[in-house]
Amino acid sequence: MQTKKHPKVVLLKGNGPITVNSEMMELITITLSHGLIGLPLKSLRAQRVYIVKDMERFWDVHKEIKEKPCCFLYSYEKLEEEDLNLIKAEDISFI
């Protein structure tokens, strides 16, 4: 019996427009108001995505990388190939 796999929950922050789970949003507004947004990763489209491996670094990464537009992503669970395929961007970096 095969169990249904749930999407991984990711944390997002940054600046610039993104489309996440088919919904457009402006990340800078969310980041300035709330610090970040957490949601299940079903799809993500952004110009530039930084996948941050360390939670401590995730909190302050915007001080280190000031590029615009960009989206910082953190996942508590390891992102597998099938998760990465849900992310569409011109540039994806692991930091």
What pLDDT is attached to residue 4? Answer: 62
What pLDDT is attached to residue 49? Answer: 98
CA proximity to 12, closest of 29, 90, 22: 29
* Euclidean distance between CA atoms 34 and 45, whole angstroms: 21
Q: Where along the chain do its domains lie?
A: 9-94
Q: What is the pLDDT of residues 45-80, one digit of tens each?
A: 999 999 999 999 999 999 999 999 999 999 999 999
* Euclidean distance between CA atoms 74 and 76, whole angstroms: 7
pLDDT tier, 6 (very low <50, low <70, confident <90, very high otherwise): confident
Neighbours of 85 (CB within 10 A): 9
pLDDT tier, 44 (very low <50, low <70, confident <90, very high otherwise): very high
pTM reported for the whole predicted model: 0.92
Q: What share of the chain is helix, strand, coil (3-state, %, to 5)?
A: 25, 45, 35
